[in-house]
Amino acid sequence: MSPSFLSSPETPLAEAETLRLNTRRPRTGPTGPLTEAARWGALTLPVGRFSLHEVNPKRDLPLLHAWMNDPVTARWWELAGDEELVRRHLATQAVRGHSNAYLGCLDDEPVSYWELYRADLDDLARHYPARPHDVGIHLLIGPAGARGRGIGSLLLRAVTELVLRAAPDTMRVVAEPDVRNEASVRAFERAGFRRQGDVLLPDKTAALMVRPRTVRESGARP
């Protein structure tokens, strides 16, 4: 994907593309508007019309199981195996209370799996200088044919901007890819994140990637 397709941090995608944000009052609770991502609407991108859909374990388990057993994905997510392993992971997301799982679709075809979570309420907060309402992102690009084309960074930028528009109390979006996953680190950098050092987590050494709310985005807050 050509970098020219990506907005700069000061030029939100929403200004150049069609965006329909739900205007209802956000839900309260630990994750607030993150529970509403499936209602944020669709965003027209150069690679197709992108939308988020809440994961339905019964419906989506076979697809996610196949993605998790792809060798490239398995190295980083460590969920290769039978469907029960993936089912337990999804169940954990549901009961944590501060994390929400979504499928990302392009033209109604699933291409990505997302976890949007309150990083300041997560175990991650013990390992970096968390701020109130920090939002964390985990992203998996499922189909092998969708990788290596810049789609990941394009979707990361789009979802980050959607989060910042929907969650006015969130001043930063953060991520913690494995430092060995150079492709993931580069995708976050192309999406406007900056590496703020490395953090030692129980299962990996992670690159702390931070995308702060810009002055322009702060001015647009309700």
Looking at every residue in the chain, the average pLDDT score rounds to 86
Categorise residue 150: left if φ over 0, alpha if ψ from -120 to 50, beta otherwise.
left
- Taking the C-alpha atoms of residue 12 and residue 220, their distance in angstroms, rounded to an integer, is 11
Q: For 26, how many CA atoms within 13 A lie in the half-sphere containing its CB? A: 19
Q: Give the DSSP letter of residue 63.
A: H
Task: Using DSSP, state whether 2 is helix, strand or coil.
Answer: coil
pLDDT of residue 70: 97
Q: Look up residue 84 and give its two tokens.
A: 């029960």
Rg of the chain taking only CA atoms, in angstroms? 16
More confident position, 106 or 21 = 106
Q: Which domains does the chain have, with CATH numbers?
A: 33-212 (3.40.630.30)
Six-digit token string for 194: 């900056």
73: pLDDT strictly greater than 70: yes
Going by pLDDT thresholds of 50, 70 and 90, the confidence category of residue 69 is very high
Token pair listed for 73 = 């994905």
User: Of 91 and 19, which is predicted with more confidence?
Assistant: 91
Q: Which residues of 154-167 are buried (b: 16+ CB within 10 A; e: fewer)?
A: bbbbbbbbbbbbbb
Range scoring the smallest mean pLDDT among 37-46, 99-108, 118-127:
37-46
Structure tokens at 115: 């976890």
Measured between alpha carbons, how far is 17 from 21 in angstroms, rounded to an integer? Answer: 12
* Greater model confidence, 6 or 163: 163
Q: Would residue 41 be called left, alpha or beta, if left means φ above 0 and alpha means ψ between -120 and 50 degrees?
A: left
Mean pLDDT computed over 89-93: 94
48 φ/ψ sector (left φ>0, alpha ψ -120 to 50, else beta): left
